[in-house]
Structure 1
């Protein structure tokens, strides 16, 4: 994994933490609408996606080299919030309330596990040679699975900002 991707992961996570640490636990768990997630649920979803990404990369490393020919432009797909993407069941968040510090611990833990795992990959070039099917984006090179983490997180940071505005407008 190159330094730029590492920087993007770190910068995006710091932005996320700045957005949520200013909230009360009540705001964090408030749903602005019937079929909408709370900010806590959005953050829990991000934890689950990071854990699933680690598993997908580990699985992909065991497989054969990719038949995938070119990189998909995942940034265009993930950063376009006009197109709704439905979360697969495996990364749907819990309905239960969370405390902010609890989610921060989960986010830190999932990131630490991911980075520790990635540090064990001796030949990083393999991340551009092997691929695994992503439930929303199609066949992705393993390196793109890492990239989709910060892009996905950026997408949800924008969602969190929107939820915060909706919560302020609620009676």
Structure 2
């Protein structure tokens, strides 16, 4: 079964899923890692997303290997760049930053990583990524050179989400 099929099946059956996004640059190490993993396994979290807007030193492949050894749920890549795509996850969210107007994040990076993902045989989830908010500039907004949709502009967020759905994006984040 695919990640998206499982998600929709859980939704139909009234089962809830909760994902935690783990930024490889902000993860604990050593004994703190063991306590962290014990906490994750004891929590209601059903899915772990792995990735970040700015990856500076942690190896995604090593983190996936360690998650596989210590975590009981689904592990999905949430890549901020093609360099973060690596084997070992259950699926990859093929992210398109639909709230921005940066062509590199609408299709450019997908061209760079698409063939490699296909060769890995990973489950691919076409995902619209929307930045929404009024707070301080986030790493995602800065790195993508994209302004978030203002929180007060719900109609823009809805129209963007609908357009993503019409483009065939199976999930929105």
TM-score, length-normalised on structure 2? 0.24
- Higher strand proportion: 2
- Higher helix proportion: 1
> Relative CO higher for 1 or 2, CA cutoff 8 Å, sep ≥ 6?
1
TM-score, length-normalised on structure 1? 0.24
